[in-house]
Structures are given as structure tokens and as C-alpha cells.
Chain A
Amino acid sequence: MTSCGGAARQGDSGGVALLTVLGGMIVLVLALLMLSAALDLAHAHARASTAADAAALAAAGTSPLAGGSGNPGEAAAELAYRNDAQLEHLDVQRWPLRVTVRVSAATRMPLVAGLVPRVGTEAAAAVIP
């Protein structure tokens, strides 16, 4: 075992700077987490928008006027699912044919999913005879 041969510390003046820098690092890490959470929300919103557009267009495409099968709910749900989202609500106005869908996509970060599990958005499509 070796003994400490240096002089005893005279003060802790450098400790303040170290604490300031450590505090700054913690703030930066928190900023990184917040930024990641915001980006996760933005990505979920982008996926939901894509799914909503696809679902609304698919639902409108089922209109007999557009040569479709006449089952907008099934088509909208399928397209929302294929776009990694979920159909929440479907509203069909018969004439003029206008379909409005509400779709939600799940957030992926556990930190965000605990607070905002899903992000929703709406889209509409119409058939012009």
C-alpha cells in the first residue's frame, strides 16, 4: 500500500466549476430526451397522416360512383392497418360523397408512450361524379 505523499488540499475552489459543468451536462441530456420525445411524436403524427390519407382515399374509392365495392369501413380499416395505424372513426356523407376518417398511430418511445400512447389525425376524401 502506498501512502499519499502530496500536499493536503487547501480548498475546493475548482469544485464549483465542476458542478456547473456537470449541471450543464444534465441539462443537455434532458434536452436530448425532450428532443427525442418531440421527434417521436412528430414521427407518429407523420405516420398517422399517411395512414389517414390512404384510409380516406381507399374509403372514397369504394363508392359505386368510383367503381368500388361499397364497403368504406373495411377498406379504410385495412389501409390504416397496413400503414401501421388504427382507424378510430369513419364518417360517410352519402351525397355528395365525402368520407372523413380519424386515424391514430402509436408512439414508440417508452417515455412518450406512457404519456401520449397514440397520436391521431383526420383526413377527408370526396368523389366528384
Chain B
Amino acid sequence: MVLGARQGGAPQRAPLRSETGSQSIELLLVLPVVTLLLVLVACAGLLGADLVAAQAVAREAARSAAVGDVDAAHSVATAAADRRTIELELVPGRPSAGEVVTASVRLRSRAFEALGADVWLPGQATMRVEGR
């Protein structure tokens, strides 16, 4: 049986009678956007946690340098970073008692690692070097 055939003409498709599948199609179209938003929420949480962690790492490093253990500041910062990659800079490199030492940290966040993005978060802390 040929549906919608014109008399004397070529066969033609029947007009659409229902929209039964439209919900599935709409869901299919919007689902990627919803998934992306969910991933963004999760990544934002990780990013924020890493930002606070970067500040904590800087504080630990500055404190270590302030009590006169500049060499230990790097190992203290690495331990505080909890296996995250960090870059630490102490200014001045060899502070003397009474001087102010600033620890600047860049912490590589794991938030967008799965997406291939390389995000570095800053943290900075300044403390006065105590007398020895």
C-alpha cells in the first residue's frame, strides 16, 4: 500500500500526525548542556578547594621561612600541597631576622585536568622572620 500517493504523480511521504518522539529528541539536545553544567559545578568546587589549598601552602611555607628554616620551606610546602604540583618562590631567598619574607605559591589545580586544561592557582603569604 502506498500512502499519500497523488493521482498520476510520484509517491509522497505522509504528513506527520504525532509528536511522540519529540520529548526524547528535546532531551537528547539539552542533555549535553545539562551534563556540561554538572561538570562545571563539580570543577568549580574542586577549583575553589585548590584555591584555598594554595593559600594554605603559601602560609605554611612562609611560616617555615619565618622561623628560619628556609631550606625546609620547600619540603613543608610540598607536603602541604598533598601531591599537587607546586612552584614556590621565597622573597628574599635568604631572609635575616626582623626582615619580612613573602612566599608566593603557584599550585596546579586538578579541577580541569580531565578536560585537558592546565590551571595554576596563586597563593601568597608574608611573615616577619623571627629572631634566632
Q: List residues of chain A with CB under 8 Å of any chain B CB.
A: 6-7, 9-11, 13-14, 16-18, 21-22, 24-25, 28-29, 31-32, 35-36, 38-39, 42-43, 46-47, 49-50, 53-54, 57-58, 61, 66-67, 75, 79, 82-84
Query: In the complex, which range does the number of interface residues on chain B fall in?
Result: 35 or more
Residues of B near any A CB (own CB < 8 A): 15-20, 22-23, 25-27, 30-31, 33-34, 37-38, 40-41, 44-45, 47-49, 51-52, 55-56, 58-59, 62-63, 66, 100, 102, 124-128, 130-131
Contacts of B16 in A (CB 8 A): 6-7
Number of A-B residue pairs, CB cutoff 8 Å, is: 109
Are A58 and B37 interface neighbours, CB within 8 A? no
With contacts A6-B16, A39-B44 taken as known, whether A50 is within 8 angstroms of B37 at the C-beta atoms is no
- The answer for the CA separation of A57 and B55 in the assembled complex, in Å, is 18
Partner of B126, one of A22, A46, A82: A82
